[in-house]
Amino acid sequence: TGLDSFQALRVMESLRELATDGCTVVCVVHQPSSPCFLCFHDLLVMSEGSVAYHGPAEGAMAYFAHHGETCPPNVSAAEHCLNVVSVDKDSAETERDCRERIKRLKATAGKTAKR
């Protein structure tokens, strides 16, 4: 939308208020800042058109860690979610490894996420 991070956070805070008041809010956010990520109640992470995680936003890091994808120090939760479900095409080996990881996450999405 062209919003800077400050304005994007203001929009997210307004949307969270609406959700807290009982309204259904659905939004797509690409590369949210850490403060924006904290505004989410429910999180749907997709990779190549399929669900890799769906559940409480606060449970995403535990879910990924449970599947061997622990968030490194100094990496935001939002960035980690995107890194885990992205395909690195630097080499055939890294691409294969990424696709295997994503396939594993997709196979368990929705089964182990606690709501």
Tell me the per-residue pLDDT of 74-93, one tens digit each, with 9 for 90 and over: 999 999 999 999 999 999 99
Largest CA distance in the chain: 48
Q: What is the pLDDT of residue 113?
A: 45
Among 57, 50, 71, 58, which residue's Cα sits nearest to residue 25? Answer: 57
Round to whole Å and give the CA distance between 110 and 75: 24
The model carries a pTM of 0.80
pLDDT value, residue 81: 92
Distance CA 40, CA 92 (A): 35
Residue 114: the pLDDT is 47
Alpha carbons 32 and 1: distance in angstroms, whole number: 12
**Segment 4-26, tens digit of pLDDT:** 889 989 999 999 999 999 999 99
Q: Kindly state the average pLDDT of the residues 49-71.
A: 93
